[in-house]
A and B are shown apart, each in its own frame.
Chain A
């Protein structure tokens, strides 16, 4: 099912829209198209979710299709597993990254494994939406970057949009997928805007493909989600130093697009991985290893990582020291052994 193709013959005016609006519209369109799509979570009904991403869904589709559940994440995801076993297509909202942890057993032991352990008899067409990452001044337990836990769990797809267009397109594809998708929403980009037409949303690359957001020749910044705007800004600033940086948006951490990543690094010969997640045991280590394995003879310098500090997520007044910023990215670029 191609969910992201613009409706033919429909002239749609592109207007500024936020990522939050695009995500809401993706669920709304999916629910209108497919009666088996059910949205469930804490406060997703009358309130529309704490970030208002499910705004209006309960009103339009009724409480049986957009359900305020009891406050228990393992129960929510566990019930969603049973609903999927009966042929529904649940879209679960976890209120915040760190609040999703109680559901981890259901995710790791059942959601991720059900297809495999039943030889394909029971698919898990679940989407688990999780607002993640920091930068919004949240108090503790509201700003974790938990992607590495999910990446290390075979059976899950791990997807994260960084643009308004991708927010719609990737979420539609995630909901339509017969595989479980952990859909990580960069919460500090919820209010970022782009020209976008809700009635004829632009087609986007499918899950599993990385996209070059800014072509360049000097080095590749490999990033995703909340760090994409940081990298784009760094790339603009780098032109003053004479560096022409390529910025790659992974979009999907699982499946991982080795092909696009390696092709970019072979062109540029240098790479920096940028993410908010902690560096030790974080996605950057896996990505750097994969790049090195594939591009060793093209590399002019070791693959570097710019990541969050290896500390519990800081209190809001200190979080700016944790988050990779433009300067930290440029410092890493400067260390890519240019003297040769």
Chain B
């Protein structure tokens, strides 16, 4: 147990990632309000992106642009661009998901006049 705690304190980013993920999941499950559920979903997705950013960060490194092709390339001086591009793509995909989900929620609100899941279920009965 002390080793686990020690490991956690040394990795604040991972602790943050786990907290974000769990908070998002909890909001998804516990709130009856559809918009709040979406916020929870957004937190979960963002926690995954936060994890991606964490594993791709590199201290003392710079953007991977080759300024002088005549000199030999020093790989350790540059950040690996791939995980950053993945993060960017994942954000774009999230935005698309958010767009579709807000569209569906707005249609639900137009049809049932409520954002509350329990109220909507009552109307469906």
**A and B found bound together:** no
Chain A interface (Cβ within 8 Å of chain B)?
none
